[in-house]
Structure 1
Amino acid sequence: MSGAPLHVLAGVLRDREGRVLLAERPAGKHLAGLWEFPGGKREPGETPLAALARELDEELGIALLEAEPLIRVPWRYHERELLLDAWCVTRWRGEPRPLEGQGLRWCLPMQADPATLTPADRAILQALRLPRHYLITPAEALPVERGAWFERIGRAIEAGERLLQLRLPHWPREEVREFAASLLPLARHHGAQLLLNADIEGARLLGIGVHLTGAQLATPGTRPLPLQQAVGASCHDAAQLMQALRLEADFATLSPVMATASHPQAQPLGWAGFQALAEAAAMPVYAQGGTAPARLAQARAAGAQGVAGIRGFWPAA
């Protein structure tokens, strides 16, 4: 398809209970019966916010007062190329009503079934579900340190961390699975997600997520886990981000953004390079490599979902 992509705005409205508003695509329209975040296409000469305000007024009868960017999702439906531009509507006036005969429902992001959403809107849902920090255990952690790491991970979860990857290459696979199982009650109590590094079968057995390696991304196949279990992917370039999308990963880490002591030979992307790749990816992307929690604002300005890393992310031992 030639020309610029169709620019479509989507508004994420949250009520006081943290629920978001979804709209059902009506009969006769493309993807009828699936759910989406309300909005519509930008008209020539409109700014994105003006377009979103007009669409929310026409569809829901509300007046947009304040909104902030969430995620931009480039997508293609057959020959139709579009850019789905999602904004969090932080203030509005009026009560949403189905002015176009569409179904409406409020639901918590973690309770929404991704399979009921349009494919492009699933990326918006994942951006809402995912936190700003993604903690990864250090590769040098040893099995004899199991007790210490159980305490550190527990403290991180209790302190508010909600996404953690168990990357423990020196541990026997069964021991990693047992360790993950022992952490599950605490993680589920706090609404935290655990991911195993590379171990798809272990993740499937435990009902948790998996983080795919670059080698796994290159393997032909389909999404390795049900939509209810998170799938992350380690990426370093545009080709790997495309492979992650092909496998229907929920998010990716993109590294290295800055030079790191652990991988001195790797050419850093820099923030401009990271932003170009992240904005072209149809999924949330974490900035990794030379990042830290203190760089979150910089990462968000470059289009990142948040920051991922090892050193500087964990509570002190």
Structure 2
Amino acid sequence: MKRIHVAAAVIYDAAGRILLARRPEDKHQGGLWEFPGGKVEEGEPVEAALARELEEELGIRVEQARPLIQVSHDYPDKRVLLDVWEVTAFSGEAHGAEGQPLAWVTPRELGNYEFPAANRPIVRAAQLPRQYLITPDNLEPAALLKGLKAALAAGIRLVQLRAPNLFSPEYRDLAVDAVGLCAGKAQVMLKGPLEWLGDFPAAGWHLTAEQLRQYAPNGRPFPRERWLAASCHNAEELALAAQMGVDFVTLSPVQPTATHPEAVPLGWDAARELIAGFNQPVFLLGGVGPEDAERAGRIGAQGVAGIRAFWPT
């Protein structure tokens, strides 16, 4: 069965809302909501296909777009490759030119809509930022919270609370403060034993590679309403992350890094190949900074993650 290549768009308005369209009842996956787009014709550049489809379906002209994520999915009766782009500027007023109902929703509200299975990773990618801040080692809790407050003021929306120098009780106390500080501003991803999950219902969890190997055969440890991530370094770990149903991963190290000088870097080309076989959002980590976010996007990554290059000085 030939894989159908589809160009799809996560379209933002000036208020940061995302445009959804509902599929006709008589079509494949009819009645479900989707991100607008359509089939890429043979030999047609994806960006051209996206612009054509959005003008035909919605009456808008794309002015600014960049790659977001690629998702391969096999339905019982159809195989698709969704080539998803983020559209941040367009002209014209979006309307259902083919009679399809439309809805403008906030990223948080995406969870209230029912999508085809192939769209689920797109929902997560649309809800995630381009930068993932990891807190540095060897800071006193007060200094760490002060830096975190500054990072939030600078626009950070996704934070991993990494504090390996602290004992468990100290980390748990710090986690309570960090989750409270970030409430309504950023998603906090904690690290630690899964036995702590029930104590931090508002937090997501970022698994180490060792935890991933231990728990992946058991599947996802909590419902999809909570964020789940994992640290990956190779194709085997990415496969385990997919098996576990994580929402996103970090892939590292891309470049040489002072945090792990002994680790052999993947390089950008190998990172591109690994991302191409993985259907969830990927943050590149190790020797990268905010200035590398666009390059990361061009090879299929969600964005970049880091400690030193992201921490406010």
- Asked whether the equivalents of residues 36 and 117 of structure 1 are also in contact (C-alpha less than 8 Å), the reply is yes
Out of 248, 265, 268, the residue aligned to residue 268 of structure 1 is 265
Asked if residue 314 in structure 1 is aligned to residue 311 in structure 2, the reply is: yes
Moved more, 70-79 or 105-114: 70-79
Alpha-carbon offset, residue 82 of structure 1: 2.1
Instruction: Tell me the equivalent position of 1:169.
Output: 164
Equivalent residue letter for 1:83: L
Q: Distance in 1 between matches of 2:309 and 2:65?
A: 32
Whichever residue aligns with residue 239 of structure 1, its letter is E
Kindly indicate whether the alpha-carbon contact (under 8 Å) linking 1:217 and 1:233 is maintained by their aligned counterparts in 2: yes
Q: Does the 8 Å CA contact 1:300/1:306 hold for their aligned counterparts?
A: yes
Whole-Å separation in 2 of the counterparts to 1:209 and 1:259: 28
Matched ranges for 1:174-253 at <5 A: 174-189=169-184, 191-206=185-200, 207-218=202-213, 219=215, 220-253=217-250
Trace 1:32-71 onto structure 2 (pairs within 5 A): 32-71=30-69
1:284 paired to 2:284: no
Take 1:135 and 1:43, find their aligned partners in 2: how far apart are those partners? 39
1:37 partner letter: F
Deviation, structure 1 residue 31: 2.8
Q: How much has 1:201 moved relative to structure 2?
A: 4.3
Unaligned runs of 5+ in 1: none
Please point out which of 131, 142, 145 is paired with 1:147: 142
The separation in 2 between residues aligned to 1:132 and 1:88, in whole angstroms, is 12
Corresponding residue of 1:124: 122
Q: Distance in 2 between matches of 1:179 and 1:124?
A: 32
Cα 1:149–1:105 shift into 2, 3 Å: same
SS at match of 1:153: helix
SS at match of 2:84: strand
Q: Distance in 2 between matches of 1:114 and 1:269?
A: 38
Cα gap change, 1:90/1:157 in structure 2, threshold over 3 Å: closer, same or farther? Answer: closer
SS in 2 for 1:112: helix
Q: Distance in 1 between matches of 2:199 and 2:239?
A: 27
1:91-142 Cα offsets, whole Å, 9 max, x none, are 434332234443321101122207722232222222222222212223x436
Distance 2:293 2:49 in 1: 29
Q: Which amino acid aligns with 1:12?
A: V
Contact map agreement 1:134 1:164 (CA 8 A) in 2 = yes
Structure 2: stretches of 5+ with no match in the other structure: none
Identity of aligned residues (%): 46
| 2: CA distance, partners of 1:152 / 1:229 | 25
Assess, with a 3 A threshold, how the Cα gap between structure 1 residues 297 and 11 changes in structure 2: closer, same or farther.
closer
Asked whether 1:255 is paired with 2:219, we answer no
- Three-state SS of the structure 2 residue aligned to 1:67 is strand
Q: Structure 1 CA distance, aligned partners of 2:64 and 2:262?
A: 45
Are 1:135 and 1:164, in contact at CA under 8 Å, matched by a contact in 2? Answer: yes
**Which one-letter code corresponds to 1:53 in the other structure?**
A
Counterpart residue identity of residue 252, structure 1:
V
> Structure 1 stretch 275-284 or stretch 200-209: which is displaced more?
200-209
Amino acid at match of 1:302: I
Residues 134 and 160, structure 2, Cα contact 8 Å, conserved in 1: yes
Q: Output the aligned Cα RMSD.
A: 2.4
Q: Counterpart of 1:295 in structure 2: which amino acid?
A: D
Q: Distance in 1 between matches of 2:199 and 2:78?
A: 39
* Distance of aligned partners of 1:22 and 1:178 in 2 relative to their CA distance in 1, 3 Å threshold: same
Say whether residues 1:136 and 2:131 are aligned partners: no
The 5 A counterparts of 1:4-19 are 5-19=3-17
Aligned residues: 310
Give the counterpart letter for 2:183 in structure 1.
R
Q: Name the stretch that deviates more: 281-290 or 213-222.
A: 213-222
Letter of the structure 2 residue corresponding to residue 134 of structure 1 = Y
Given that residues 199 and 210 in structure 1 are in contact (C-alpha distance below 8 angstroms), is that contact kept between their aligned partners in structure 2? no
**In 2, Cα distance between the equivalents of 1:291 and 1:108?**
30
Give, as a single letter, the amino acid of the residue that structure 2 aligns with 1:14: Y
Describe the shift of the 1:115–1:208 C-alpha distance in structure 2 as closer, same or farther (beyond 3 A).
farther
